[in-house]
Every structure is written in structure tokens, then in C-alpha cells.
């Protein structure tokens, strides 16, 4: 397994709609293993394939941050099949490091997709897991968390991120 470089805004792969997975082959299994390793190393609670430069509809999520071995989930070609309620909470992204903002999301979602064995699974979620599912599905559609904010919120996040990057470059 390898830790892959995480692509950062404004890289084009983050804005492209990911392609459906058509083969559950050894290459895909290796990508999933590498994504899991990368997510834990970051550290993060979710990672979509476009974030490591691969435009495929795959994501991994573990809201326990690796503390609960049963919390790790892999989704291939996922779809949100229902979403109810509204919440607005602080959210960040490994592809926009160091910047957070209040992001509106559904309070509860049902996600359907395949696991890494190719079995169709459906998971109902609320709280942090529901937010993580929506965040990662957005990545598969070329959207970032700040795209869900109003114009002022989006601009504020982008300015903060650019300022942070300039400060890092000066070091």
C-alpha cells in the first residue's frame, strides 16, 4: 500500500465528474487500499478517488478515524437515494487544507452503491456519517464543500485558502 498525493483546489481533476467504475479488478483493489492508507495518513475521515487524481466513482470513509475497524466503508458508483432534513455545520476538506466553513447539508441520507466485493449495499446515515457521504459524493460530481455555500461564503473560503497557500510558500 502507498500514501498517494492529495490533489488540492484548484486542480482540474477536482472539478471533473468522475467516471463510473466498470471493472472490479486488481488495479481498483490496489487503488482502494492506497486510498484507505492515504485517508488515515492525512488524517481524514473520507477520501474520494478524484482527490488522488483518479476520476472514478469510488470513495472510502471512516468517521472513527481508524479507531473502530468496523467503521471503514468503501463505496463504488454510489448514489444518494434519499435525503431529509437540513443542518449547517463546519466542514473542511483534505483538498482545501486548513480552511473550514459552515456548509448546509441534509441531516439524514440513504446511500446505495457497491462495496469492494461488488455487492450492492444501502446505508442509512445521520450526523457526521451523513455529512461525510454527501461530501464524498459531491467530489464524484466535481463539487467542493464551499460550492454549497452562498456567494459570500464561497468567496471567503477561497480567499482564506489562497492566503494560507501564500503564507506556506513564503516559509
Residue range 12-170 forms a domain whose CATH class is: alpha beta
* CB 15 within 8 Å of CB 51: no
**Can you tell me the distance from the alpha carbon of 100 to that of 54, in angstroms, rounded to the nearest whole number?**
24
What are the phi and psi torsion angles at 109 (to 5°)?
A: -140, 155
What predicted TM-score, i.e. pTM, was given to this entire model? 0.96
Q: Is 169 exposed, middle or buried (0-12, 13-18, 19+ CB in 10 A)?
A: exposed
- Annotated catalytic, 136? yes
The cell numbers describing 55, all together, are 476520476
Residue 171 pLDDT > 90:
no
- Which is the catalytic residue, given 91, 119, 126, 136? 136
Q: What does the pLDDT look like over 112-134, one tens digit per residue?
A: 999 999 999 999 999 999 999 99
Q: What does the pLDDT look like over 128-151, one tens digit per residue?
A: 999 999 999 999 999 999 999 999
Report the residue count for the chain: 171
Residue extents of the structural domains in the chain: 12-170
Amino acid at each position: 500500500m502507498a500514501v498517494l498525493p492529495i490533489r488540492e483546489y484548484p486542480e482540474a481533476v477536482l472539478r471533473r465528474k468522475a467516471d463510473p467504475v466498470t471493472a472490479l479488478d486488481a488495479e481498483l483493489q490496489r487503488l482502494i487500499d492506497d486510498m484507505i492508507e492515504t485517508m488515515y495518513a492525512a488524517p481524514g475521515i473520507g477520501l474520494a478517488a478524484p482527490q488522488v487524481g483518479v476520476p472514478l466513482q469510488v470513495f472510502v470513509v471512516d468517521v472513527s478515524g481508524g479507531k473502530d475497524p468496523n467503521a471503514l466503508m468503501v463505496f463504488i458508483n454510489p448514489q444518494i437515494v434519499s435525503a431529509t432534513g437540513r443542518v449547517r455545520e463546519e466542514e473542511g476538506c483534505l483538498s482545501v487544507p486548513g480552511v473550514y466553513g459552515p456548509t448546509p447539508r441534509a441531516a439524514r441520507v440513504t446511500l446505495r452503491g457497491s462495496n469492494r466485493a461488488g455487492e450492492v449495499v444501502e446505508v442509512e446515515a445521520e450526523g457526521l456519517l451523513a455529512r461525510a457521504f454527501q461530501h464524498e459524493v459531491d467530489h464524484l460530481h466535481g463539487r467542493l464543500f464551499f460550492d454549497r455555500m452562498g456567494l459570500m461564503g464561497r468567496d471567503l473560503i477561497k480567499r482564506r485558502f489562497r492566503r494560507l497557500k501564500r503564507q506556506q510558500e513564503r516559509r
